[in-house]
């Protein structure tokens, strides 16, 4: 997820059982232009052995060039290439990238073919239910014919953005229409909804986005639900200690700028905690991870779940 799934957050998700974490989406154009910030997205975390790299772009030749570049740079640490054909953001679709490719399926197919021709690892595609109409089944077939190795569907249209409910039936329809592994995404918020997604759609795996923010232990919950084993929600102290780990790691990896980025994450760890308003304000004023640790541990005396 752009702005969130950096090396630090991915490491937390992995530690709680996430099987495959993806980089933030990376501009194919930015990489070929040697943009240093873009290249930073390819860094592996301390405990990360392999990563899935997500790219966006609309030019088949450039996609091939970038896949080659990434494969050379990451070698055995590259697990798969995922191509973003789902992003609804105006600044992305106005260039013909992200979900705009659902309006140009032939071009989408050529992009997958170009990536596949040079990729030493599987090429997957993340897409939506459609642009405005439901076109995901025909789109999935184009991607399959082009050689995609797996598909991930977020079943809302671009026009819907994030409104309304994810339409699980569309995932079932895509699964029934292709022979590829299909990963279901959208509105998974706990173990129960992950199991329901698998059962109702026949999909092969699930992808979690927003519900992992401030709750990276959701992967442990989902795995327990799938395995049918007991799961205990972390205590308040355990939750806050995950937030502390997040703060300490992001400071170690990114320095003071990391703490600015952390401001997006911290309130999410406090979601649903009564009396955490004053703590949020205090955390925003923290000068370093040591202060964040101090404020969070201090708060354990005053707040409850
Ligand atoms: C802030 C934000 C950033 C996102 N960035 C990406 C991204 O870079 N690549 C991607 O494929 N999807 C991205 N998504 C979409 C999610 O991966 C996911 O498809 C969507 O949020 C629905 O799943 P969820 O209900 O589990 O969040 C993003 C979503 C949000 C809210």
Q: Delimit the domains of the chain by residue range.
A: 7-227, 236-299
Q: What is the pLDDT along the chain (305 residues), one digit of tens a residue?
A: 999 999 999 999 999 999 999 999 999 999 998 877 777 899 998 778 999 999 999 999 999 999 999 999 999 999 999 999 999 999 999 999 999 999 999 999 999 999 999 999 999 999 999 999 999 999 999 999 999 999 999 999 999 999 999 999 999 999 999 999 999 999 999 999 999 999 999 999 999 999 999 999 999 999 999 999 999 999 999 999 999 999 999 999 999 999 999 999 999 999 988 878 889 999 999 999 999 999 999 988 777 65
Q: Which fold has domain 236-299?
A: 1.10.1200
7-227 and 236-299 in the same fold? no
**Tokens 């790219």 map to which residue?**
55
Whether ligand 1 lies within 6 angstroms of the CB of 54 is answered as yes
Domain formed by 7-227, architecture: Alpha-Beta Barrel (3.20)
Residue owning the nearest CA to atom 22 of ligand 1 = 186
Q: Is residue 87 flagged as an active site residue?
A: yes
Tell me how far apart the alpha carbons of residues 63 and 55 are, in angstroms, rounded to a whole number.
Answer: 8
Residue owning the nearest CA to atom 16 of ligand 1 = 209
């Amino acid at each position: 997820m752009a702005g969130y799934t950096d090396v630090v957050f991915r490491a937390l998700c992995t530690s709680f059982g996430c099987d495959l974490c993806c980089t933030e989406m990376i501009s194919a154009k930015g990489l070929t232009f040697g943009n240093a910030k873009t290249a930073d997205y390819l860094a592996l975390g301390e405990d990360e052995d392999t990563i899935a790299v997500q790219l966006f772009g609309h030019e088949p030749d450039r996609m091939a060039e970038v896949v080659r570049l990434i494969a050379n740079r990451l070698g055995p640490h590259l697990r798969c290439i995922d191509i973003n054909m789902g992003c609804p953001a105006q600044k992305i679709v106005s260039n013909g990238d992200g979900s705009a490719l659902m309006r140009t399926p032939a071009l989408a197919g050529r992009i997958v073919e170009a990536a596949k021709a040079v990729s030493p690892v599987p090429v997957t595609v993340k897409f939506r239910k459609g642009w405005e109409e439901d076109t995901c089944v025909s789109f999935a077939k184009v991607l399959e014919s082009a050689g995609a190795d797996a598909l991930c569907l977020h079943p809302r249209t671009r026009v819907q953005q994030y409104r309304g409910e994810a339409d699980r039936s569309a995932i079932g329809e895509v699964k029934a229409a292709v022979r590829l592994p299909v990963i279901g995404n959208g509105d998974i918020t706990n173990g129960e909804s992950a199991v329901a997604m698998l059962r109702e759609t026949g999909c092969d795996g699930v992808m979690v986005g927003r519900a992992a923010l401030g709750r990276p232990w959701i992967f442990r919950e989902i795995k327990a639900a799938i395995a049918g084993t007991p799961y205990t929600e972390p205590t308040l102290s355990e939750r806050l200690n995950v937030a502390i780990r997040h703060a300490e790691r992001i400071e170690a990896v990114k320095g003071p700028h990391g703490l600015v980025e952390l401001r997006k994450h911290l309130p999410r760890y406090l979601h649903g905690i009564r009396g955490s308003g004053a703590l949020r304000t205090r955390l925003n004023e923290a000068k370093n991870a040591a202060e964040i640790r101090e404020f969070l541990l201090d708060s354990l005396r005053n707040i409850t779940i």
